[in-house]
Amino acid sequence: MRIVPFGTAGGPIDTLARVYGDKLSARWGQPVVIDAKPGASGIIAADFVAKAAPDGHTVLMTLPLTHVNNHILQPKLPYDPVADFQPLSMLATGGPMLVARSNAPYSNLAEFVEFAGKKGRMTYGTGATAPPRISSASCCGGRPAPTSFTSRTRPKRRRTTTCSARRSTSPGPTRRRRAATRRAAR
């Protein structure tokens, strides 16, 4: 039996796969191999399982990313998220959270959005794989907004971006494209 977890070895899905793998191995009395296939937002892992022998010995442990987000965001996938897979079970639940320090000047999303609009610039950290404009577009009327607040103990693993209610602070062609879009919308 082979379980292919979405993401990197040691990540949350891989860890969950290893816990399940140990339990299944003990129950069945045979080895269960955990074979992480990181990269490309889960496309590598999903494609590997989609192309595996159809003997039931290879399963994918993933998030909706590989079957929903990628299908929406990627124009061409090497697998069909509906035809190439059979859902078996939901193993865990969870999701992104918006959290702030307990002494922040806001206590809910509405207050946070109001605060961000008045301040005009917010810095945040996220482990999200989606670009901030996609993962948080509904929070600030389409502008990038915080998806999570994190400690700065490991800054190399976090992406820092700016949410600006007035203008984008990103340089180059992206800024020019946004300005052209705003002018066209007027």
Residue 66: give the domain boundaries.
2-73
Q: Decide if pLDDT at 106 tops 50.
A: yes
Q: How many CB atoms lie within 10 A of CB 82?
A: 10
Q: Given 73, 94, 125, which residue is the final one in a domain?
A: 73
Asked if residue 123 is part of any domain, the answer here is yes
Asked if residue 27 is part of any domain, the answer here is yes
**Mean of the pLDDT values across residues 149-167?**
38
The 3-state secondary structure of the chain reads CEEEEECCCCCHHHHHHHHHHHHHHHHHCCCCEECCECCHHHHHHHHHHHCCCCCCCEEEECCHHHCCHHHHHCCCCCCCCCCCCCCCCCCCCCCCCCCCCCCCCCCCHHHHHHHHHHHCEEEEEECCCCCHHHHCCCCECCECCCCCCCCCCCHHHCEEEEEECCCCCCCCHHHHHHHHHHHHHC
Q: Write down the pLDDT at residue 182.
A: 67
Asked if residue 150 is part of any domain, the answer here is yes
| Calpha distance 36→5 (Å, rounded) | 5
pLDDT tens string 41-93: 899 999 999 999 989 899 999 888 888 888 888 889 999 998 999 989 888 87
pLDDT band, residue 101 (cuts 50/70/90): confident
Q: Decide if pLDDT at 33 tops 70.
A: yes
Do 113 and 69 belong together in one domain? Answer: no
Q: Write down the pLDDT at residue 176.
A: 61
Q: Count how many domains the chain has.
A: 2
Q: Write down the pLDDT at residue 9.
A: 86
Q: Write down the pLDDT at residue 64.
A: 82
Asked if residue 87 is part of any domain, the answer here is no
Asked if residue 96 is part of any domain, the answer here is no
Q: How many residues does the chain have?
A: 186
Whether the pTM exceeds 0.85: the reply is no
Long-range CB contacts (< 8 A, 24+ apart) of 101-109? Answer: 101/149, 109/139
Q: Write down the pLDDT at residue 126.
A: 60
pLDDT tens string 2-22: 999 988 888 888 999 999 999
Asked if residue 88 is part of any domain, the answer here is no
| Calpha distance 182→176 (Å, rounded) | 10
